[in-house]
Structure 1
Amino acid sequence: MISRHHANRQAHNWLVYDIGDRFLEQFVPLYKGVLYDLGAGEAPYREFFTRHSDKYVTVDWSGSQHPIQADIVADLNEPLPVASGVADTVVSLSVLEHLREPGRMLAEAHRILRPGGAIVLQVPWQWWVHEAPHDFYRYTPYALEHLLRTAGFVDVTVHPQAGFFTTMTLKANYFSCRLVRGPAPVRLLLRAVFSVFWFAGQKLAPLLDRLDDDWALEACGYYVTARRN
C-alpha cells in the first residue's frame, strides 16, 4: 500500500488514498532518472518514488502547515532555485489548488524538465476547503488542459479519479467527521457509529460508480499526465 505512511489516511477517507495508489502504480513507466516532488510536504511517498527513480528530490516552502521534509525550501509561486533541464520526472500531488500562481509553478516544472520528461499532477475537484487560507482553486478538466498547454506541455491527459457515488460518499464522510464533537465519551460513541457507515460506504461506492458513464462530470479529483517536448 503506497499511501500507508500518509498522515491524512484515516477511517473516513481511505478510499481516496486507495484510488490514488492505483493511479500512482499505473504511472510507474513515467517515473525515471531524477524525480522532483514539488510540494512534497512530509514526503509520504518517498519510499515509492525512490524505488522507481535514480534520485528523489523534494521541494516545499517554509510556510507549510505540515512538517516538511524538503531537500529544497522554495515558494512554488516563485521561480525555483533549480537549474533548467535537470529533471526527468516532476510529480505534484494535491498542491496546485494551494498556489496563488499555479501557472508559474507549471512553467517552472516545464523549465526544469529535460526534453521528453513527464509531469504527473493530482488536484481535487469536488472537495472541501482545506489548509485555509491557502486553498485558492478547483480545476475542471478543461482548465487543467489549458494550464498545462499554456506552460508548454504536450500529450496532456486528464484522468478522473472516481465517479458520482465515490465523490458523494467521501463528501458525506468528511461532513460527518464535523459532527464528532462533545465530551470524549460522546465523540468515541459517534466515531464508532459513523465508522460502520464510513466502511460500508467506501466499499459500496466503487461498485455503484459503474452506473456512472462519465466520471469526469462528478469526480472528486483528477490526475493529469503530460510531457515536455
Structure 2
Amino acid sequence: MERQFVAVEQFKPIAVQSPTRQPWLFRVRCLLDLQLATIVRYLRPELAKLHGRVIDVGAGESPWRDWLPSSVTYQGIDVGNATEFGMSAGHPDVTYYDGRIMPFADASFDSALCIEVLEHTEDPALCLSEIARVLKPGASLLLTVPWSARRHHIPHDYHRFTRERLEIMFGEHGFENVEIRERGTDIGAIASKLVVLTARLAQPKVDVSLLWRIPLLVPVVPVALGFVAASHVSEALGAGAKEDPLGYFVKATRATSSRG
C-alpha cells in the first residue's frame, strides 16, 4: 500500500477580523502582512460601491462587512468545517453548507465577495458557477486569490491561479467584463517570504533547533524589515515586476446572457 505524505502546518494563518474592531492593530498587521495590505488596497474602494443584497462566499469572521454601505443586506456563507480554517462557527448571518451547491435560489443577490477562498475549493469551476447562478444578471463579483503564498490551511490548499487561468475560468463560468489586477510585485513576494521565515525562526519552541534558529534570526530580521519597507515604497511608486505578484484582485459582472 502506497504511503501518503501529510504535511504538518507549522503555524496557521491568523483569521482576519473586522478592521473596525481594533483599527490600530489592523493597521499594524497591514504593515507586515503584505497579502492583507494588498487585498485592502484594491478591495476597500470597491466595497463602497456595492448595493442591495450581498453574499460573502467563504465569509469566515465576516471581516469586510463593516466596510460595506449601511444600506446593503449582508449574507455570509461558509463551509461546515470552517473551524479547520481557524474560524469561529455559529455566526447568525452566515449559512454553513457542504461547499458545493449553495442553498439559495437563482438570481438572489446583487453583489458577491469571495476573498482568498477559491484556492481552498476542491472544485473552483463549480464554485464560480454557483456564485454566478445566485447572482442577478449584471451583478458584481469582487474576488481575490493568492499567487506567491506558502501552502496554508493544510490539507485544504488546492490551487494557485495565473492571470491567464483566471480569465478563462471567469469567461467559462458565467462572468463578463473581467478586470484582473496584480496585487503587489516581486519585491512584495520576497518580503512576504522573509516575514514568514522570521515568524518560523522566532517560534517559541525550545529544542535543539534553537542552536541555529537564533543565530539565523539575527541577520534575517533587519533584512525582512528592509524588504517590507521597500515593498510599501514600491507599491506607492508603481515599481517592481508584476510577473511575480503576491496575488490577484478580480472584478467581474454576472453575464447578462444565458451562457454559464
Same fold (TM over 0.5): yes
Q: What is the Cα deviation at residue 193 of structure 1? A: 8.1
Equivalent AA in structure 1 for residue 202 of structure 2: V
SS in 2 for 1:176: helix
Runs (5+) with no aligned partner, structure 1: none
Mapping of 1:171-210 within 5 angstroms? Answer: 171-181=193-203, 182-183=205-206, 197-208=223-234, 210=238
Confirm or deny that 1:18 pairs with 2:40: no
Rounded to whole Å, the distance in 2 between the matches of 1:167 and 1:5 is 28
CA RMSD of aligned residues (A): 3.0
8 Å contact from structure 2 (residues 110, 135) kept in 1: yes
**TM-score, normalisation: structure 2:** 0.76
Equivalent AA in structure 1 for residue 57 of structure 2: L
- Structure 1's 183 and 11: CA in aligned 2 closer, same or farther, altered over 3 A? farther
Rounded to whole Å, the distance in 2 between the matches of 1:197 and 1:165 is 12
Confirm or deny that 1:132 pairs with 2:148: no
SS in 1 for 2:253: strand
* Residue of structure 2 aligned with 1:42, choices 55, 61, 65: 61
SS in 2 for 1:136: coil
Confirm or deny that 1:220 pairs with 2:246: yes
Q: How many residues align?
A: 224
Q: What is the Cα deviation at residue 57 of structure 1? A: 0.5
SS in 1 for 2:119: helix
Paired residue for 1:90? 112
8 Å contact from structure 2 (residues 106, 134) kept in 1: yes
Paired residue for 1:58? 76
Q: Name which of structure 1's ranges 40-49 and 10-19 shifts more when overlaid on structure 2.
A: 10-19
Confirm or deny that 1:102 pairs with 2:154: no
Rounded to whole Å, the distance in 1 between the matches of 2:248 and 2:170 is 14
Paired residue for 2:9? none
Rounded to whole Å, the distance in 1 between the matches of 2:58 and 2:153 is 13
8 Å contact from structure 2 (residues 125, 169) kept in 1: yes
8 Å contact from structure 1 (residues 61, 73) kept in 2: yes
Paired residue for 2:101? 79
Q: What is the Cα deviation at residue 30 of structure 1? A: 4.2
Report the identity percentage: 24
Equivalent AA in structure 1 for residue 133 of structure 2: R
Q: What is the Cα deviation at residue 13 of structure 1? A: 3.3
8 Å contact from structure 2 (residues 111, 139) kept in 1: yes
Equivalent AA in structure 2 for residue 107 of structure 1: S
Runs (5+) with no aligned partner, structure 2: 1-17
Q: What is the Cα deviation at residue 21 of structure 1? A: 1.5
Q: What is the Cα deviation at residue 29 of structure 1? A: 5.4
| Per-residue Cα deviation, 1:148-205 (whole angstroms, up to 9, x for no partner) | 1111100011110011101111012112211113349x79999898665544432222
- Structure 1's 11 and 207: CA in aligned 2 closer, same or farther, altered over 3 A? closer
8 Å contact from structure 1 (residues 28, 52) kept in 2: no
- Structure 1's 20 and 32: CA in aligned 2 closer, same or farther, altered over 3 A? same
Q: What is the Cα deviation at residue 132 of structure 1? A: 0.4
